[in-house]
Amino acid sequence: MTANSATHVVVLSDDPVDLLVLVVPVIYADPATETAIALVQRILVMTDGACADPV
């Protein structure tokens, strides 16, 4: 699988590795869009494993 024109990669989980690859057109590439993508990635990182059973 390739993503030749991807502009952003969001890591959904790291075990197993799940990636969300986005193509954001130049016309939409503004600071608000960048902030929203970074916010989604941060939320996903914070919640990864939050639903796992405690050991």
Average pLDDT, the chain: 76
Cβ–Cβ contacts within 10 Å for residue 42, how many? Answer: 11
Predicted local distance difference test score (pLDDT) of residue 48: 65
Give residue 24's identity as a one-letter amino acid code.
V
- For residue 52, pLDDT over 70 is answered with no
Residues 14 and 23: their CA atoms lie apart, in Å, by 21
Of the pLDDT bands very low, low, confident and very high (cuts 50, 70, 90), residue 16 is confident
Q: Which pLDDT score is estimated for 6?
A: 79
Mean local confidence (pLDDT), 22-45: 81
pLDDT band at 1 (very low <50, low <70, confident <90, very high): low
Q: Which residues contact 40 (CB under 8 A, 6 or more apart)?
A: 10
